[in-house]
Structure 1
Amino acid sequence: MATTSSNSSGTTTPAMQQGDGGYGLAVIGCGTMGIAVLSGILDTQRSLSSSGGRQAALDNLSQSVESIDNPEDLTHLPTRYYACVSRPESGKRLRRDVFSENEWPQVQVVVGENVRAAREADVVMLGCKPNMVEDILKEEGMHEALRGKMLVSICAGLRIEQMQGWVGKETTVIRAMPNTPSKIREGMTILSPVPSSSPPISSHILLSLFSSIGRCRFLPEKHFDACTALAGSGPAFACVFLEAMADGAVMMGLPRKEAVELAAQTMQGAARMVLQSGSHPAQIKDSVTTPGGCTIAGLLALEDGKVRSTVARTIQAAAEHAAGLGQKK
């Protein structure tokens, strides 16, 4: 049964106060993103528990979060997991293909029993479609099951105020926005701030969970629609640009396989230069652009095609659409 809880008044049971990691995590609606999050957490937990991998895992975690003084603050991971799905066939597939009992005995696949999972867990994550959240949170017994706990929603468009109204003030509601590269632990997750009345361990738990699947940072909820467009939809936009670069190389005679590899590695390398050096993208662009060279010729072609404004407007359009997700028509 649950041994940990937190709520908006800041009261907690001993396990969460001490941050001993002895808590349970339930993912309700454990689909693609839920599986990505759980898999990343479990892999990180395994690395931390291995004799030779702990320091490397701590180094990786500390690089995922800015302004973290003690990497050990990123090790508050669950000891019990509940992967919740609605259909028996989904449960069988999860147990067979993803969370086999032999490899992951700490993961319990739960079919059609969201309330029970929420009751036995201490942190509950919503990974379902936004239009399903209200019905799930209004299931009989769910209000009581969530009382005094932390509810983390990774559902686009749903506001904290909405969810708070469905679960009551005794539940701490947090929004999180991970993206699909989380599946390979290269994600970018945005978290809404933890209420000031909550204990510090609440923030440590959130950072521990999401730094396991890539970078993460806290931002006010007002920025979430823009973050959904940029980080959530961004991988799709980046892949369009990547594909276009590869198409151009194919047009000039390069085989498709090699063209895609070169384009992907080039984009990855440029992105890592921005992250690791802290340089503005324009600085890196200018460092590649020599007078009269091929780079400036290509850049002028991009400008002729209004690529810069088109990409910026793409983020704007996606953000405006994100604002309507989860809202009743």
Structure 2
Amino acid sequence: MNPSPRKVAFLGCGNMGSAILSGLLDALDEIKSGDARTWNFTACTKTERSAATLVEKLGQHATRVQVLHGQNEEALADVDVVILGVKPYLAKEILSKPGIGQALAGKLVISLMAGVSVDEVHDLLLPLATEAPNAATYVVKAIPTIAARYRQSMTLIERSSSPLPQHHEELATSIFNFVGSVKVLEPNLMDVGSVLVTACLATLTVPLDGLLDGSVIEGLPRRDAMELMSQGIAGLGALLKHGGHPAVLRESISSPRGVTIQTLLSVERENTRVTFTDALLHGTEYLQKMRSKAEARQPSEKDKA
């Protein structure tokens, strides 16, 4: 097996890319061996302004990262792994630039683009194959969360339908293990999985805001309420992670005539459970529609011929 690659390029480094990069750098800082210092990172943004913003976000780690803007081909030179974090609608424009095909040849490309399948990324790269016909580009799809910044991401990796070199599979997993946990899913489950991990960080903030507002109304300062709630969420996460079922947890802390059952009753009266079920179903449906539209825009096999 090839030695673990140490050179990683981020192509498009917005909120998600910078979160992953920051988490990786923090994790590597905790590794005492000098081997951790052999990792090299390059990040390329679209504009000079976004490059300056990234440097500011990286803080003390900025000296360990080469930050470029508008220099994609240069960013991809002499790296082993490319983390593709561009907006899906920009992917074709960026990947079709002259020289990109040669720069990606033989490398592992980790796509962070939700709603864009591995096959679609391969279709984008197919016209570039003439630049390096003897070196395949390997693509893996990963859906992390911005909690990667604090190494608490739940990253989904799509199981590849075509064989990947073992060291590429291990590398993709190890990168995201640095910033949290990893779950490998079949391609047909990636949409619902993507919406679920996103809902855990976005949709659930709506009821949490409501709890904070209620706490303030009752006289508890918002900062204190946030502290209490944050630890409560961490505790809930630990219980769920160790096998606790939500219904069992609710039952175990709902005493007869107690306060907890009163709060639960208020939530159930508003059909809140169905609202969140619908939210996940609608999000998954939207991703599927995005893919269907993208596939409709792809040329047929006859057109390609």
Relative to the length of structure 1, the TM-score reads 0.79
Aligned: 1:129 with 2:60: no
Q: In the alignment, what sits opposite 1:159?
A: 117
Match of 1:206 among 172, 196, 208: 172
> 1 CA distance for matches of 2:52 and 2:44?
12
> 1 CA distance for matches of 2:205 and 2:43?
30
Counterpart code for 1:81: F
Q: Secondary structure at the residue paired with 2:148? A: helix
Match of 2:48 among 62, 75, 88: 88
Q: Secondary structure at the residue paired with 1:237? A: coil
Structure having the larger proportion of residues in helix = 2
Match of 2:26 among 43, 60, 69: 43
> 1 CA distance for matches of 2:59 and 2:9?
14
Q: In the alignment, what sits opposite 1:145?
A: 103
State the identity as a percent. 30
Q: Tell me, yes or no, if the aligned pair for 1:150 and 1:171 is still in contact at 8 Å.
A: yes
Q: Tell me, yes or no, if the aligned pair for 1:151 and 1:172 is still in contact at 8 Å.
A: yes
Structure 1 residue 253, shift from structure 2 partner:
3.4
Q: Tell me, yes or no, if the aligned pair for 2:10 and 2:83 is still in contact at 8 Å.
A: yes
Alignment coverage as a number of residue pairs = 286
Counterpart code for 2:141: R
Q: In the alignment, what sits opposite 2:279?
A: 314
Q: Tell me, yes or no, if the aligned pair for 1:79 and 1:106 is still in contact at 8 Å.
A: no
Counterpart code for 2:237: A
> 2 CA distance for matches of 1:96 and 1:263?
29
Deviation string for 1:168-223 (max 9, x for gaps)? 38211111101122222111110112456323221221121111111111111222
Q: In the alignment, what sits opposite 2:7?
A: 24
> 2 CA distance for matches of 1:257 and 1:47?
30
Structure 1 residue 86, shift from structure 2 partner:
1.6
Q: Tell me, yes or no, if the aligned pair for 1:243 and 1:260 is still in contact at 8 Å.
A: no
> 2 CA distance for matches of 1:280 and 1:212?
27
Higher relative contact order (CA 8 A, sep 6+): 1
Aligned: 1:268 with 2:268: no
> 2 CA distance for matches of 1:78 and 1:285?
48
> 2 CA distance for matches of 1:278 and 1:257?
31
Task: Flag the 1:161–1:196 CA change in 2: closer, same or farther, 3 A.
Answer: closer
- Structure 1 gap segments, 5+ residues each: 1-16, 52-74
Q: In the alignment, what sits opposite 2:16?
A: 33
